C-alpha cells in the first residue's frame, strides 16, 4: 500500500486526483512528467489507501486541502506547479488561493455548478447511483474487467476510451471507489457548503482544460465560473477525451501539464 507517488527531478509538480480515485490514476502520465519535474502525487484524505481524517476533523473540502498541503510540506514543496482533475482541480485552486501554486492546470475542475441547481441535483444522483452500482460489482471485478467491452460499459461515464484501461487498472479503480471511506460524508458536505465562492482570489497562472467528451461535469453547467472569475485564466478544450482523461490520451494530458508549467517557470524563477 502506498499513500503517494514521488519521483523525477526538476521543478516541483503536484498531481491531485478526483473523488474516489487514488494517486494511481496518474500512472499513464508519470513517466513523461517525471522527466522534467520532481513529482508528488498524493492520495486525498479519506480515500482508499490514503490518510484518514483525524478524530474530530470533518470530512469536508477544507480538510481535504489541508491534507494535500501537509503532503507538500513533508515533500519540502513551499510552492509547486499544480495539476488537479475534477475534485482535484478544486483542491488545486484552493491551494493556489493559499499561495502554494506556481501555476495551475485544472482538468475539468469540480465546483462550477450553481448551489441548489438542477446540475447539482443531477451530480448527486450520478455519484449516488455510481457508488452503489460499483459496490455491487466490485467483489466480481477480477472477472468483469477482463473483457474490453465490459470495461467500456462500466467506465463510459468517466472516460471516452475505457477499453484502454488494462484489466488491472480497471479493477484498481473499482477498489478505489468502494474503498473511499469519506465518499458519502464528503459528498454531503460539498452539497451543504456549496461550490467555491473565492475563485476571484486565485492569482496563479491558471489553465482550465475541459475534456471534449466530459459526461460527468458538463461544460454548459459546470465551467462558467472558472472561465469568468479566475483572473486571466486561459480556457482550452481537450479533444477526444473524457472526464478522467489521463488514460484516454496520456500524451495529450502530459503535454498540457508540461507546456503550461514550462511557460510559467521563468516567471516563477524571477519572482522567487
The residues annotated as belonging to the active site are 86, 214, 243
Torsion of CA 215, 217, 221, 224, to 10 degrees: -130
State how far the Cα of 81 lies from the Cα of 102, in Å rounded to an integer: 5
Q: State residue 242 phi and psi, 5-degree precision.
A: -105, -170
| 150, 144 Cβ separation under 8 angstroms | yes
Amino acid at each position: 500500500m502506498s499513500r503517494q507517488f514521488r519521483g523525477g527531478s526538476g521543478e516541483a509538480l503536484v498531481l491531485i486526483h478526483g473523488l474516489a480515485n487514488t494517486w494511481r490514476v496518474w500512472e499513464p502520465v508519470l513517466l513523461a512528467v517525471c522527466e522534467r519535474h520532481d513529482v508528488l502525487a498524493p492520495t486525498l484524505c479519506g480515500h482508499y489507501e490514503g490518510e484518514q481524517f483525524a478524530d474530530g476533523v470533518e470530512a469536508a473540502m477544507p480538510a481535504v486541502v489541508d491534507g494535500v498541503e501537509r503532503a507538500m510540506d513533508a515533500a519540502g514543496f513551499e510552492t509547486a506547479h499544480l495539476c488537479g482533475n475534477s475534485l482535484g482541480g478544486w483542491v488545486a485552486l484552493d491551494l493556489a488561493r493559499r499561495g502554494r501554486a506556481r501555476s495551475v492546470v485544472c482538468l475539468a475542475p469540480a465546483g462550477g455548478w450553481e448551489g441548489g441547481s438542477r446540475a447539482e441535483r443531477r451530480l448527486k444522483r450520478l455519484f449516488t447511483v455510481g457508488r452503489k452500482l460499483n459496490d455491487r460489482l466490485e467483489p466480481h471485478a477480477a472477472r468483469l474487467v477482463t473483457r474490453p467491452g465490459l470495461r467500456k460499459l462500466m467506465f463510459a461515464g468517466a472516460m471516452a476510451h475505457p477499453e484502454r484501461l488494462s484489466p488491472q487498472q480497471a479493477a484498481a479503480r473499482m477498489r478505489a471507489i468502494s474503498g473511499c471511506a469519506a465518499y458519502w460524508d464528503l459528498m454531503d458536505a460539498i452539497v451543504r457548503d456549496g461550490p467555491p465562492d473565492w475563485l476571484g482570489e486565485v492569482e496563479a497562472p491558471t489553465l482550465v482544460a475541459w475534456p471534449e467528451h466530459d459526461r460527468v461535469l458538463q461544460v454548459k453547467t459546470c465551467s462558467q465560473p472558472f472561465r469568468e472569475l479566475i483572473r486571466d485564466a486561459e480556457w482550452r478544450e481537450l479533444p477526444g477525451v473524457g472526464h478522467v482523461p489521463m488514460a484516454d490520451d496520456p500524451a495529450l494530458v502530459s503535454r498540457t501539464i508540461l507546456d503550461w508549467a514550462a511557460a510559467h517557470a521563468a516567471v516563477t524563477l524571477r519572482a522567487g
